[in-house]
Amino acid sequence: MAKIARPKVVTKERLDLDAFPENVQVTLRGVAVAARDGVLALSVAAGLQVIREMMQADLTRLVGPKGKHDPDHVANRHGSEARQIVLGGGLVDARRPRARSVDGREVTLPTWELFSARDMLDEIAIGRTLAGLSMRRHRAGEASMGDVALKGTSRSAISRRFRRVTETKLAELFGRDLSQLDLLAVFMTASTSASI
């Protein structure tokens, strides 16, 4: 069985919020089509446009404005690639803008790292499963998001996430160092409070 790499956890604190523009433009034409499918679909369409704008702002901050030559630049734009970001309980197709440093190394975009981090998928899979939703019924727990198709919501994908998270949590639980814990004092305290 192939090993699955543990996803990196990226927190909001790693984003430089001052680097983003105060205003983001959302095209009403693209959002209006989604409005027919309800508020969630409208929110998803607007949110995906905002994420694209944030990634472009991130890229401009790291590389510089598009079309303007800077002799002191440290990185260059390097096109984009088809990838996926996390949305609710699944994955959605997205374009990841790329940049390379002058010496040829890939430059990471903090915005992309935040929105592509898959730890939220694990939490949703665990939450739904512990709430009693079976692996084959996970799709029933999703709401309609208009034209946006969620991926990674198959029974096997949910099962793999659940298994990976529970294995990790059990390894953490059983791997704890108990040498500093006075088990007799814990037992005595528990038995004393139970008898009261």
Condensed to tens digits (0 to 9), the pLDDT of residues 101-135 reads 888 899 888 888 888 888 888 888 888 788 877 77
Asked whether residue 26 carries a pLDDT value surpassing 70, the answer given is no
Angle at 172 between CA 171 and CA 177, to 5 degrees: 110
Instruction: Give me the domain span that covers residue 95.
Output: 12-68+76-174
pLDDT reported for residue 8: 46
Tell me if 192 is assigned to some domain: no
CB atoms within 10 A of CB 70: 9
Whole-structure pTM value:
0.64
Where do the H-state alpha helices sit in 36-153? 39-63, 110-116, 119-130
Orientation of helix 28-35 relative to helix 39-63, angle to 10°: 150
Name which of 52-66, 67-81, 95-109 the model is least confident about.
Answer: 67-81
Asked whether residue 27 carries a pLDDT value surpassing 60, the answer given is yes
- DSSP E strand stretches across 42-196: 75-87, 90-101
Asked whether residue 140 carries a pLDDT value surpassing 80, the answer given is no
Tell me if 106 is assigned to some domain: yes
Is 126 within 8 Å of 132 (Cβ atoms)? no
Rounded Cα distance between 136 and 157, Å, is 10
Tell me if 85 is assigned to some domain: yes
Domain count, the chain: 1
Asked whether residue 175 carries a pLDDT value surpassing 80, the answer given is yes
Name which of 21-25, 38-42, 94-98 the model is least confident about.
Answer: 21-25
pLDDT reported for residue 83: 92
Tell me if 62 is assigned to some domain: yes
Name which of 4-13, 114-123, 187-196 the model is least confident about.
Answer: 4-13
Tell me if 170 is assigned to some domain: yes
Q: For the residues 23-30, what does the mean pLDDT come to? A: 66
Tell me if 139 is assigned to some domain: yes
Tell me if 137 is assigned to some domain: yes
Tell me if 24 is assigned to some domain: yes
